[in-house]
Amino acid sequence: MNRVQVDDWRRKAREIMRNVKNLSDLDYHYAVLRRDRQHRFIIAELLQKSLSVLIVSINRFLKDACNVSASALTFYSILSFIPIVALAFAIAKGFGVGTSLEELIRGQFSNNESLASTIVEYANSALANAKGGVVTGFGIVILLWSVIKVLNSTELTMNRIWGIRKGRSIRRMFTDYLSIIFIVPILIILISSLNVFMGTDLKSEFPVLGDYLLRLFKFLPYLLVWMLFIFLYMFMPAAPVKFKHAFIAGMVAGTVYQIVQWFYIRFQIGVTSYNAIYGSLAALPLLLVWLQLSWCVVLWGTELCYILRNRHFMYKSELIGDTGWMETMEHAIRVVKYVAKVYVNNEGGPSLTMINKEMKMNTGKLRLVLEELMDRHILVVAKEDDDYYYYPASDFHRLSVAEIILNLSRVEESKDQEWKEQFSKAIRAEFSANKLA
């Protein structure tokens, strides 16, 4: 082996060691997400990006304490479990498919028939109490409140992951949540019942093709889970989510959820020691574990959707809560100047994506700056085409940097009149000549 070959092997070894070291470097994976295609081979690029997305999503999952949020959602789910089933029964019976829903529930808890019977019995009892007697209206309100509480907690958790402080208004909550409450159970019941009804008809009408189509219908439950996850990531956050990002996150998280469910069912079959300890309630501890894991999967999928939407602006250090006054002011002035520049050039209002590319900031930090500018009536926002667009709230030609600083400083809230006048005078003397447009 000559010297050239030795040097070549050493160079390759150093490159391999560097790549191995990069795999353990979190900053490297954030950098991989931000960059565009680098490898000549699509498969190599896809594998590298997928690995980085996985590592960054787990990092954000832990940093955002999603396991704690999953515990809270598990608690609300347990509280509202019977009301949700009762409400689903009410809707199912209204459409004449109450028996199909009961069979679906018993099928989900086929390994514990006593638990399934208890759920159905309590749900029917809650529904009967809500419909009968003097407390009819109060019972229905309790049922609806239990379901709405779970939806609202889910939205708040997802908004926190997306870096959004303001959720839906009361009016939008009322209309959106009621739509979910009545539409989603109907879809679940119809799709689940379709397998039974269509399977019977297909066997009699198409003896040859019936078996093949029947196998196809066995995938309907998986399709239903994917649809629910995609819908959840598209609809629940108070942020513009593109369908392609919700679709990818929904398919991945939905698949992981079904794997977790498969292991849960197999583990439930194998565990017999719980029966001696808990008796008829043996399935309860496992149910709590399953709910906790299920919510963890849902929230991890939310992190995944967020990363796919904002991958070009992902950094290891978000610095959302630790941004100082001077840094916030600097970012705010830069944002307002950019919005003014785009608007004055008759290009309309820039989108959140455009501002992100110009500022080169974390999406979470930028959202806080933009929300502050909107709270102070400097900018207004409009949602169009799966993105937010920002416009001036007043004439930028008559607005100076001094007015922006004084507005964001909330100087008018100071009770010290003398200090307020001195501060305002100093800011205007220094920045009044600096116009935005």
Q: For residue range 104-153, list pLDDT tens digits in order.
A: 677 666 666 666 777 777 777 766 766 655 445 666 677 677 778 888 88
More confident residue, 293 or 176: 293
User: Which range (30-34, 169-173, 198-202, 252-256) has the least confidence?
Assistant: 198-202
CA dihedral 334, 336, 342, 344 (to 10 degrees): -130
Q: Is the domain of 380 the same as that of 231?
A: no
* Percent of the chain surpassing pLDDT 90: 8
Residue with the larger pLDDT of the pair 65 and 424: 65
Q: Please tell me the total count of domains within the chain.
A: 3
Pairwise CA distance, residues 165 & 177, whole Å: 19
Q: Are both 298 and 356 inside the same structural domain?
A: no
State which of 313, 337, 360 marks the end of a domain: 313
Decide which of 269, 284, 313 is a domain's last residue: 313
Question: At residue 319, does pLDDT exceed 50?
Answer: no
Across the range 179-184, mean pLDDT stands at: 76
Tell me if 437 is assigned to some domain: no
> What pLDDT does 304 receive?
93
Per-residue confidence band for 299, with pLDDT thresholds at 50, 70 and 90: very high
Lowest mean pLDDT: which of 56-65, 99-108, 237-246?
A: 99-108
- Which domain-ending residue is among 284, 313, 342? 313
> Quick one: tokens of 155?
């939205």
19-45 per-position pLDDT tens digit: 555 566 667 777 777 766 665 667 777
Residue of 323 and 50 predicted with greater confidence: 50
Q: Which of 182-186, 206-210, 266-270, 346-350 has the highest mean pLDDT?
A: 346-350
Region 228-253: what's the mean pLDDT?
Answer: 90
Do residues 264 and 166 both lie within one domain? yes
Position 59 in a domain: yes
At 120 the pLDDT is 77
Whether the CB-CB separation of 261 and 225 falls below 8 Å is answered with: no
Q: Which two tokens stand for residue 277?
A: 């300890």
Which residues constitute the domain of residue 106? 66-313
Same domain, 8 and 146: no
- Number of Cβ within 10 Å of residue 396's Cβ equals 19
Non-local CB neighbours of 350 within 8 Å, separated by 6+ positions:
338, 339, 342, 343, 358, 389, 390
The winner for highest mean pLDDT among 42-46, 212-216, 302-306 is 302-306
Answer yes or no: is 187 within a domain: yes
Place 375 in a pLDDT band, splitting at 50, 70 and 90.
confident
Our measurement of the distance from residue 274's CA atom to the centroid of its chain's CA atoms, rounded to an integer in Å, reads 35
Residue 349 and residue 231 in one domain: no
Check if the beta carbon of residue 329 is closer than 8 Å to that of residue 405: yes
Shared domain check, 145 and 27: no
Task: Identify the pLDDT of residue 428.
Answer: 75
- The pLDDT value given to residue 326: 76
User: Which one of 81-95, 109-123, 132-146, 329-343 scores highest in mean pLDDT?
Assistant: 329-343
Q: Hey, which of 13-17, 224-228, 416-420 has the most confident mean pLDDT?
A: 224-228
Mean pLDDT of 257-274: 72
Q: What angle do CA 422, 424, 428 make, to 5 degrees?
A: 120
